Each structure stands twice: as C-alpha cells, then as structure tokens.
Amino acid sequence: MGQFQDSVALVTGGSSGIGRATALAFAREGARVVVAARGLERGNDTLHEIQAAAGTALFVQADVSRAGDVQKMIQETVTAFGRLDCAFNNAASLEEPFALTADFTEEQFDRSIALNLKSVWLCMQQEIRQMLAQNPPGGVIVNTSSVNGLGGVPQAACYAAAKAGILGLTKSAALEYAQQGIRVNALVPGGFHTPMLDNVFERVSGGDPDARQTVVKRYEAMVALGRIGRPEEAAQAVLWLCSPAASYVTGHSMIVDGGWTAPMR
Ligand SMILES: NC(=O)c1ccc[n+]([C@@H]2O[C@H](COP(=O)([O-])OP(=O)(O)OC[C@H]3O[C@@H](n4cnc5c(N)ncnc54)[C@H](OP(=O)(O)O)[C@@H]3O)[C@@H](O)[C@H]2O)c1
C-alpha cells in the first residue's frame, strides 16, 4: 500500500516537467491524482500514463491565472474524488522576453505576475476554502517558487518578483492556517531538465547547438553536484513535504538545487 493511499492530490502544471514527475509519483504511491494544465494533449498523455500503470487520475483543462478556471478545477476535483488532501501549485510559464527592468512593458509585467504569482494565490484561495470545509478538515499545500525568487535575476525581474512573492504567500498562509490543520510549504528548485529550462537554454544560446552546449556546461559547473536535476528528484521533495513524515514542517522554503546556491547562503 502506497503512502498516499486514498489521498487526493492536485498537481497544477501536471502535464510536463516537475509537475508531471510529481503527478506520476503521487499516483505510484496510491493517491488519486488531478492533473491540471492548459494543453489537452500533454494533459491526456500524463493521464493515460498514470492509468496505464493502474493509477487513478483525472485531467482538468484549466488556466490557473483565471479565477473561473481555478474554481472549476477544485469543483471537478471534489466531484470526482470527494475531497482535496494535497495541492501542488506548480504551474508557471516564462513567456516574457529577457529584458532589463525598465524595458518591460506594463502588459508583460501584468501577464508575468498573473501567470506566475496571482495564479498561485487563486489556487491557494480555493484549496484552503475546500480544505477548511471538508470532513475531516485539513490538508497540505506546496507552492513552487525558484532559486530565482531568492536573489535578483538580471533580465528576468518579473519572473524573479513572482517567485519571491510565492514565498511571501506561502509563509503568510502557513501562519494563518496552521491551527486549522493546513500545512503550507514552498519547493525552491534550482535547475531541472524540463521543457521550461530547455527553452531558457535555447533562448540564451540563440538556437546555436555549440553555444547551447557551452551554456549548459557553464550552468552545470555552478552546481555542487555537477549536474542539472531530474524532475523526479524534485518530485520526491514534494512528496516528502506532503507526507506525514513532514508533520512538523510548515512555512518552509525547501531548496532543492544540487547545492547551487549553497555558496551564496
Ligand atoms: N525547470 C527548472 O529548472 C525550474 C527551476 C526553478 C523553478 N522552476 C519552476 O518549477 C515549476 C515547473 O516548471 P517546469 O520546469 O516543470 O516547467 P514545464 O515543463 O514548462 O511545465 C510547466 C507546466 O505548467 C503548465 N502551465 C503553465 N502555465 C499554466 C497556466 N496558466 N495554467 C495551467 N497550467 C499551466 C504547463 O502546461 P500548459 O502549458 O499546457 O498549460 C506545464 O504542464 C514552475 O513553477 C517553474 O517556474 C523550474
């Protein structure tokens, strides 16, 4: 019997990268998993992969930067599985161009904050309401920040601000709802092999394969463990934070970065 047997776990951005690895890991541990993302094809692929391994899952097509979609996502979760025990608010996208702080347009700023910060708050709002209302009440929330939210990031101020904001949301909610049985923590990833990081490498290297290899090598050299992480390694941290083994952990920002930021802390 898996350690999340009979639990209900929601993973936003569950169709790719860290979210997908976490959805699969929850399902392997017996959770009934709700995978949420905008794109139907990758969402259904993840759903089918879980079902092919005898797991139980539901795919909900939702844009988590839209309040109506988030409300629908929680309603569909509860209709299908009756409650919500673990919520991994992980969806994000890096759409804006790399630009200096003064060069972003107001639209780019608003879009980045909507996709990467407001979305997490919208999810937390609905999840907390559900966790307080259900019987028995309570649950665990993990929000994905980034090492980019710990320090400044030249050419990505909006993304960095959103990821720093997630830490504020996480710690505030952890304090507010601790007595009501809801733990709230943040995953703070370093570099992980996912489509998002691939896209960053592509943009930084201008699509030149040699330049890309140099960029990747330079990146790996900054990491104490000497390599970029596998999404499954981030997933294991999320599962631990959601598990009873972490029953005394709330308001925590768990850095999982292969030691990348250790010299700066
Ligand atoms: N990979 C890294 O090195 C790294 C480092 C630090 C932090 N992170 C953070 O880790 C999280 C996962 O990143 P990843 O690298 O796994 O990215 P990824 O492979 O690009 O996956 C992102 C997922 O989020 C979904 N998504 C994006 N915007 C959404 C929206 N508005 N509504 C619903 N779903 C949305 C995507 O599906 P659709 O596009 O179909 O919606 C996809 O399933 C993100 O919060 C990211 O900022 C990643």
**What local confidence, expressed as pLDDT, does residue 15 receive?**
98
Burial of 192 (0-12, 13-18, 19+ CB in 10 A): buried
Return the best residue to mutate from 18, 34, 170 for the ligand 1 pocket (most ligand atoms within 8 A of CB): 18
**What local confidence, expressed as pLDDT, does residue 1 receive?**
82
Is residue 12 within 8 Å of 89, Cβ to Cβ? Answer: yes
Alpha helices in the chain (DSSP H): 17-28, 40-52, 67-81, 106-113, 119-133, 157-177, 195-205, 209-222, 231-242
Please state, in angstroms and rounded to a whole number, the distance separating the CA atoms of residues 47 and 38.
14
Q: Which residue's CA is minimally distant from atom 7 of ligand 1? A: 146
Decide: 258 in ligand 1 pocket, CB within 6 A: no
One digit per residue, the tens of pLDDT, for the chain of length 265 reads: 899 999 999 999 999 999 999 999 999 999 999 999 999 999 999 999 999 999 999 999 999 999 999 999 999 999 999 999 999 999 999 999 999 999 999 999 999 999 999 999 999 999 999 999 999 999 999 999 999 999 999 999 999 999 999 999 999 999 999 999 999 999 999 999 999 999 999 999 999 999 999 999 999 999 999 999 999 999 999 999 999 999 999 999 999 999 999 999 9
Domains and CATH numbers, the chain: 8-192+230-264 (3.40.50.720)
Is residue 10 within 8 Å of 127, Cβ to Cβ? Answer: yes
Decide: 229 in ligand 1 pocket, CB within 6 A: no
Q: Is 159 a catalytic residue?
A: yes
